[in-house]
Every structure is written in structure tokens, then in C-alpha cells.
């Protein structure tokens, strides 16, 4: 890295004077005096004015072509004998210029009288545009262009290399000083890239309006980064708190040029001259303040400030001279134009070396400190450490024992409270079910039996058969209610065991289908069962699975109208079997579904033939499916309800809860 830096510096030192010489090559300034003596129409105070200038041009035929340079006018159009020769201008996109260049050039191929119409639409160049009309040969132009590219490429290459170098250091050590430093030197590089016309040529050749406004954005950002780097690197908050506050104020003041830039760019109401003036004043203040602060911090004992002062001194002097030249306070010469670039190059090299030295010193100090701490730690009194550790262990053990005792006590109290609450709720629910839900089916059975016993002689054989069927159906309904009630009460008290086995659904479905055959025939229901369901083996508790299907089928029967349709389907989904029971009955509301699936609260309502239930069947179905590592879902249909539950097909995929 050091060899590369030294080589770059040598090339830069040799290249910039050549570039300077090329930039100031002696060219013939035609009719400069006439222009300054107001031999044109319009006034220099009018930004949008147009001027006509007569140019008497004599060229040597042996040195074709020549180029007429028209300064930095916003638009410039050249005519000869009423014919258009070409147009150019700093406010035109590169594609609209007769000769694509950051300079306003018109190729001239013969001597004669030419007329140039000059339009001022770039207010930053109103004054200096009047003194920059002249001729140069293609040899002169090529020489200037070559040295411009060589010299500035070396400079920008140096900026790029050192930016990447310090960026890698930032990524490595996460010291924000390096990041601020990278932003500051990249910002300077971008501004000079703009100043020498590279941005308009290569970055955005078709956006001259943006190119002209670019400086008013990049310079404030660059100087803010430079101030932040100064505050971080020099620890100004610690060494010079008052100056640190002043630097913070300078950062805040950059809101002004940024605001002027934003307003000018977005509205077209030109404030670039004002922004340029504010930027110049703030830039001079920032550079002067940074120099003073670095001296004070160094004198107060912070040695790395010497690197800072050495690196920034030439840059700050060159920057101030450059600003004064831009504001028109100093003439354009070698020092006012190029001392800034020399300062940037010197600052980049010196500071990169300083930051590298700081990094190495920091790493060495950190390493020495770690070694020292480790040595001190090993030399501590072992016996004292052992005693402290023993006391700590005893105290922790006592705390754990007391904490455990308190936790056990709290758990016992909480468990007792929950059990009492659950028992009380179970008692209330049992009384409610017994007093309401079982009364109706018992009354029905009693009525049927009374008719069969006391009036059997008056009944025909068909009436006897019908009454017997209804009696059996009522008893089946009562049995189902009692069975649900028994399972629910056992489940509430955690008395129900869980015994999963490999089984098929075919037998369970056939069993329950026969169980409810009378109810199905009485309502003239059509029950369609997927035949493939009988072949799939599942891993589940057979009794729980039987309970789930029996309740789902009974609900579908209960809430289906006479002549309705019930569909039982199955579908293999990976390692699970999905079973669906679907009816075309009265359906469920979303509130009913949420009460079961989300809030775990049951409900009951009468079936299409005034059948009653306990209100706990679907809740128990959901719990049994969950215990079998499955999931129960309920879907509202346009007419009816679809209930789906899943059970695992393979024993290896079942996870006991």
C-alpha cells in the first residue's frame, strides 16, 4: 500500500503541472474587448437574456479543424451567412451539442464572419462566460483533453483506492471515524469530478439541470461528514466541549444550502448563486475551525491530533483559496485552482497512514491490555476466589431452595383453587344437563312405553312397529346423551386414559351407521360414504375415534331436514387422513363456530325434529382429535355444515402430547 501511494503521489505531482499548462494554453481570444464594451444586445443582469456577438475568425488551413470555445453560456448557437453551424451550451444535454464535451465547443472549418447567439440560463456563469470566447486547434484540444484525463484519472484513482482501503478498515474494526472519513473524501472526489466536467460527460450526460445543481448537494454532505469525522477522531466533546458545540451548530447551518438546493431544483426558482455563497462562507468557516480545533486538541495532550493537523493543513488552505476563487475574490491561477487537489492528495495519503498507525496502535494497546488483564487474573489470590465461590454457591443454593418451596406452595394453592373452581363448574354443568337436557328424552321414552304397555291391544301391527322404532330411537338418543355426559365428566376429571392403536375407520363407520339406521330411515336421509375410507389405517385411540365419528354423524342427522343428504368423505394428506362429514341442514353461525374452536364454550340447540343435545359433543370431539395429534375444523356452507378432522396414518409420525 505504501509503495502504491508513493507512486501515485509522484505521478500526480508530475501530472498536474502539465495539466495546468494544457489548461492555460495560449489561444486567440477573439473580440473579447468588443464583448466587454457591450457590443451586443441585452444586459448581463438578466438571467434569461440573449446576446448576439459578431466574431471575425481567421484560421490556418493547415491546422484544421479549429474549435470555437464559447465559455459556459447556457445556450450558444453559431451562424455563418445565415446558415446554422452548430449549437452547444451548459444547459443542453450532451446529445444536443454539435460536439459532445463538457466544454462548449463549435467546430470551425473556414475563416469568415460568424454570429453567435448566446443565452444566459446558467446564472452561476453569467460573469465569467463573457471572458471565455476563443479559438483553439484540434491539437491543442487533444493535448488538453489527454492531460485532463491522465491527471484527473490519477487523482480520482487515488481517492477511490484510499476510500476502499479505509472502508475495509471500518468494516473490520467498526470504528465510525473511518466511515465519516470515507464519506468526506468520496464527497471531495465527487465534487471535483463535477467541477472538471466528468459528471456531465459520464454520469448523467442527458441531465444538465441536475448536473448544475449537483454541487449544492454534495458539498454540504461532504462538509457534514468532515465535521463528524473531526468530532469523532479528535474527541472534541472531551477535549474542547465548547468547540464541539460550535461544530454541531455548523452542521445544523448546512440545512440552509440544502434547503436552497431543494427549492431551486424542485421549483426551478433559481437560488444557486445564494446557495453557492452560503456554501463558500460555511466551507471557509469549517476549514478554519477544523484547523484551530486540531491545534488546541494537540496542545491539550492528544498526540494523534498532530496527524490530523498535518493532513488537513494544506487541504484547508487550498480549499479556502479555491472557495475565494469560486466566489470571485481571487483570480484563477495555479494555487487557487490546484492547491486544493494537492491538499486532498496529501491529506488522503497522510491521513490514511495516520489512521493505519492509529489502528495498529489501538490493536497493540488492546492486545497488551488483554495480556495484562489475563496475567493479573491468574495472579489473583486463589484461596480468596474459592471462598467467594463457596459463599456464592451456598447463597444460590439457599435461594433456590426457598424459591422452590415458594413455587411449590404457590402451585399447590393455585392447583387447589383451580380444582375447586373446576369442580364447582362441573357440578353446575351436571345439574344443568340433568335437569334440562335429559328430561325431554326420558319423557319421550316414558310416553312411548306407556302406549306400548297400556294400549297395545288398540294398536295395529304397523303402529306397533312404528312406535317400537321411535321408542328405540329415543332410547338411542338418550344413550348417546348419557354416553357423552359420562365421557365429558371423566375427561373433566382427567380420568380418561389414552390408548392409541393401529386401526381402520371402516368398522367404526359401519357400526355407527347401523346405530342410527332408524333415525336415517325415519328422516328419509341419503347417506353417502366414501368406500376408500375403510382401507386406510390410522394411529389413534379407537374409543375416542368412535366417539368423534358417532357425534359428528348424529349431529348431521339431527340438523338435516327430511330427505336431506349426508356425505362422508376421506382424503389422504401426507401422513394424515382427513375425514369430512358434510350435511345440507340448518348450518351453524360463525359465532357458534368461534365458541367451539376459539373460546372452548359449548352450545346446544334443537334439531329439525326438536332433538335435544348436551351442548358438549363438538367440544369433546375437538379435544379427542387434538389428543390424537390431529385437528378439527368447521366450515359454513351455503346450505349446511362441513366438519373435518384429521388423524395420523403411521405410528412413526405420531407424537404423544
Last residue of a domain, one of 68, 101, 130: 130
Task: Output the pLDDT for position 530.
Answer: 83
Q: Are residues 36 and 116 in the same domain?
A: yes
Give the angle subtended at the CA of 316 by the CAs of 313 and 321, to the nearest 5°.
125
Task: Output the pLDDT for position 46.
Answer: 44
Q: Which range marks the domain in which residue 527 is found?
A: 497-653
The more confident residue out of 24 and 492 is 492
Task: Give the pLDDT band of residue 32 (cuts 50, 70, 90).
Answer: very low
Q: Are residues 165 and 43 in the same domain?
A: no
Q: Are residues 153 and 280 in the same domain?
A: yes
Task: Give the C-alpha separation, 629 to 577, whole Å.
Answer: 12
3-state SS, residue 174: coil
C-alpha distance from residue 12 to each of 7, 314, 341, 344, 437 (Å)? 9, 16, 9, 11, 101
pLDDT over threshold 60, residue 305: yes
Is residue 479 included in any domain, yes or no?
no
Task: Output the pLDDT for position 357.
Answer: 59
Task: Output the pLDDT for position 603.
Answer: 59
Last residue of a domain, one of 347, 368, 389: 368
Q: Are residues 260 and 191 in the same domain?
A: yes
Q: Are residues 326 and 294 in the same domain?
A: yes
State what percent of residues in the chain have pLDDT above 70: 69
Task: Output the pLDDT for position 259.
Answer: 93
Is residue 7 included in any domain, yes or no?
no
Task: Output the pLDDT for position 412.
Answer: 82
Task: Give the pLDDT band of residue 87 (cuts 50, 70, 90).
Answer: very high
pLDDT over threshold 60, residue 438: no
Q: Are 314 and 305 in contact (CB under 8 A)?
A: no
Rounded mean pLDDT, 612-637:
80
Q: Are 234 and 358 in contact (CB under 8 A)?
A: no
Rounded mean pLDDT, 252-280:
89
The more confident residue out of 536 and 252 is 252
206-254 confidence digits (pLDDT tens): 998 898 888 889 989 999 998 998 898 888 999 999 999 999 999 999 9
Task: Output the pLDDT for position 29.
Answer: 35
Task: Output the pLDDT for position 296.
Answer: 93
Is residue 209 included in any domain, yes or no?
yes
Task: Output the pLDDT for position 17.
Answer: 38
Task: Output the pLDDT for position 192.
Answer: 82
Last residue of a domain, one of 368, 402, 429: 368
Task: Output the pLDDT for position 270.
Answer: 81
* CA 74 from centroid of its chain's CA atoms: 42
Task: Output the pLDDT for position 351.
Answer: 66
User: What CATH number does the domain containing 574 carry?
Assistant: 3.30.565.10
The more confident residue out of 535 and 244 is 244
Query: Residue 456 contacts by C-beta under 8 Å, 6 or more apart in sequence?
Result: 464
Task: Output the pLDDT for position 466.
Answer: 65
pLDDT-wise least confident of 192-196, 251-255, 292-296: 192-196
Task: Give the pLDDT band of residue 39 (cuts 50, 70, 90).
Answer: very low
Is residue 400 included in any domain, yes or no?
no
Give the total residue count for the chain: 657
Task: Give the C-alpha separation, 452 to 475, whole Å.
Answer: 14
Q: Are residues 124 and 169 in the same domain?
A: no
Is residue 167 included in any domain, yes or no?
yes
The more confident residue out of 166 and 615 is 166
pLDDT over threshold 60, residue 6: no
Rounded mean pLDDT, 451-456:
67
Q: Are residues 99 and 173 in the same domain?
A: no
Rounded mean pLDDT, 564-584:
88
Is residue 514 included in any domain, yes or no?
yes
Counting the structural domains of the chain, the total is 3
The more confident residue out of 420 and 26 is 420
Q: Are residues 71 and 167 in the same domain?
A: no
Q: Are residues 97 and 188 in the same domain?
A: no
Is residue 492 included in any domain, yes or no?
no
Amino acid at each position: 500500500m505504501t509503495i502504491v501511494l508513493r507512486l501515485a503521489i509522484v505521478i500526480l505531482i508530475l501530472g498536474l503541472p502539465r495539466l495546468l499548462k494544457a489548461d492555460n494554453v495560449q489561444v486567440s481570444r477573439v473580440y473579447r474587448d468588443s464583448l466587454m464594451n457591450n457590443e451586443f444586445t441585452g444586459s448581463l443582469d438578466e438571467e434569461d437574456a440573449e446576446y448576439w456577438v459578431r466574431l471575425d475568425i481567421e484560421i490556418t488551413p493547415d491546422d484544421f479543424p479549429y474549435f470555437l470555445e464559447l465559455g459556459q453560456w447556457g445556450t450558444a448557437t453559431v451562424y455563418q451567412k445565415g446558415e446554422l453551424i452548430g449549437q452547444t451550451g451548459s444547459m443542453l444535454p450532451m446529445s444536443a451539442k454539435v460536439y459532445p464535451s463538457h466544454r462548449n465547443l463549435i467546430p470551425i472549418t473556414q475563416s469568415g464572419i460568424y454570429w453567435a447567439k448566446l443565452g444566459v440560463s446558467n446564472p452561476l456563469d453569467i460573469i465569467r462566460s463573457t471572458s471565455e470566447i476563443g479559438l483553439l486547434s484540434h491539437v491543442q484540444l487533444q493535448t488538453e483533453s489527454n492531460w485532463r484525463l491522465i491527471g484527473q484519472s490519477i487523482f480520482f484513482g487515488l481517492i477511490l483506492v484510499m476510500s476502499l482501503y479505509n472502508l475495509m478498515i471500518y468494516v473490520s474494526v467498526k470504528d465510525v471515524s473511518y466511515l465519516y472519513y470515507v464519506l468526506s473524501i468520496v464527497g471531495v472526489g465527487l465534487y471535483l469530478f463535477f467541477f472538471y466536467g466528468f459528471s456531465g460527460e459520464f454520469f448523467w450526460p442527458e441531465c444538465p439541470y441536475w448536473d448544475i445543481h449537483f454541487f449544492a448537494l454534495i458539498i454540504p454532505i461532504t462538509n457534514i461528514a468532515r465535521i463528524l469525522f473531526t468530532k469523532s477522531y479528535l474527541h472534541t466533546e472531551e477535549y474542547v466541549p465548547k468547540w464541539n458545540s460550535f461544530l454541531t451548530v455548523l452542521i445544523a447551518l448546512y440545512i440552509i444550502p440544502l434547503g436552497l438546493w431543494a427549492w431551486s431544483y424542485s421549483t426551478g426558482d433559481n437560488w444557486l448563486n445564494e446557495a453557492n455563497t452560503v456554501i463558500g462562507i460555511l466551507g471557509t468557516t469549517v476549514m478554519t475551525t477544523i484547523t484551530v480545533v486540531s491545534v488546541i486538541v494537540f496542545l491539550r495532550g492528544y498526540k494523534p491530533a498532530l496527524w490530523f493537523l498535518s493532513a488537513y493543513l494544506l487541504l484547508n488552505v487550498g480549499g479556502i483559496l479555491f472557495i475565494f476563487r469560486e466566489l470571485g475574490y481571487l483570480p484563477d491561477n495555479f494555487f487557487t485552482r490546484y492547491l486544493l487537489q494537492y491538499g486532498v492528495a496529501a491529506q488522503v495519503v497522510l491521513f490514511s497512514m495516520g489512521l493505519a498507525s492509529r489502528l495498529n496502535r489501538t490493536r497493540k494497546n488492546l492486545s497488551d491490555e488483554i495480556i495484562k488483564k489475563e496475567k493479573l487474573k491468574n495472579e489473583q489470590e486463589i484461596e480468596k476466589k474459592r471462598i467467594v465461590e463457596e459463599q456464592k454457591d451456598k447463597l444460590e443454593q439457599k435461594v433456590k431452595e426457598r424459591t422452590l418451596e415458594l413455587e411449590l406452595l404457590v402451585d399447590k394453592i393455585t392447583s387447589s383453587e383451580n380444582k375447586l373452581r373446576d369442580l364447582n363448574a362441573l357440578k353446575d354443568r351436571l345439574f344443568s344437563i340433568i335437569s334440562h337436557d335429559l328430561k325431554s328424552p326420558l319423557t319421550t321414552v316414558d310416553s312411548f312405553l306407556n302406549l306400548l304397555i297400556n294400549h297395545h291391544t288398540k294398536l295395529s301391527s304397523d303402529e306397533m312397529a312404528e312406535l317400537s322404532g321411535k321408542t328405540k330411537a329415543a332410547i338411542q338418543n338418550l344413550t348417546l346423551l348419557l354416553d357423552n355426559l359420562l365421557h365429558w365428566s371423566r375427561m373433566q376429571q382427567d380420568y380418561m386414559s389414552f390408548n392409541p392403536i393401529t386401526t381402520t375407520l371402516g368398522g367404526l363407520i359401519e357400526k355407527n351407521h347401523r346405530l342410527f339406521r332408524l333415525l336415517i330411515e325415519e328422516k328419509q336421509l341419503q347417506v353417502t360414504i366414501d368406500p376408500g375410507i375403510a382401507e386406510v389405517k390410522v394411529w389413534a385411540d379407537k374409543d375416542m375415534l368412535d366417539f368423534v365419528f358417532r357425534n359428528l354423524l348424529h349431529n348431521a342427522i339431527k340438523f338435516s331436514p327430511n330427505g336431506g343428504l349426508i356425505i362422508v368423505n376421506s382424503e389422504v394428506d401426507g401422513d394424515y387422513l382427513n375425514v369430512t362429514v358434510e350435511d345440507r341442514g340448518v348450518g351453524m353461525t360463525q359465532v357458534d363456530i368461534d365458541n367451539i374452536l376459539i373460546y372452548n364454550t359449548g352450545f346446544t340447540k334443537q334439531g329439525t325434529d326438536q332433538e335435544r343435545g348436551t351442548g358438549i359433543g363438538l367440544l369433546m370431539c375437538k379435544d379427542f382429535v387434538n389428543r390424537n395429534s390431529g385437528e378439527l375444523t368447521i366450515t359454513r356452507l351455503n346450505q349446511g355444515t362441513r366438519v373435518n378432522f384429521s388423524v395420523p396414518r403411521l405410528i412413526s409420525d405420531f407424537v404423544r402430547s
